[in-house]
């Protein structure tokens, strides 16, 4: 079953502004170009808790899952 882009777009709404700002940049710049495989990785990443996700994005915690690394890289890109 293919992943609905609208759903992922909605799930990029997070609990605090830090992540919203990072995801807004990502949605604008990268999201439409993601392949199905990348979308599946993003879907997996979006299941993380917001604080966990934020820690990986700001680099205070290493990204513990190889599958998330590419998306974290895109989110970190200024």
Which segment (16-24, 31-39, 62-70) binds other proteins by CB under 8 A?
Answer: 16-24
Span of 7-15, 31-39, 62-70 interacting with other proteins by CB under 8 A: 7-15
Stretch 42-61 residues interacting with other proteins (CB under 8 A)? 49-51, 54-55, 58-60
- The angle, 0 to 180 degrees and rounded to 10, between the axes of the packed helices 17-29 and 50-57 is 60
Burial annotation 26-41 (CB, 10 A radius, 16+ → b, else e)? beeeebeebeeebbeb
* By the rule CB under 8 A, 66 interacts with other proteins: no
Q: How far is the CB of 8 from other proteins (least distance, A)?
A: 9
């Amino acid at each position: 079953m293919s992943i609905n882009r609208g759903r992922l777009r909605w799930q990029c709404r997070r609990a605090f502004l830090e992540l919203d700002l990072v995801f807004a940049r990502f949605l604008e710049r990268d999201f439409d170009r993601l392949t199905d495989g990348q979308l599946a990785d993003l879907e997996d990443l979006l299941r993380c808790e917001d604080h966990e996700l934020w820690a990986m994005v700001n680099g205070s915690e290493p990204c513990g899952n190889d599958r998330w690394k590419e998306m974290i890289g895109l989110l970190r890109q200024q």
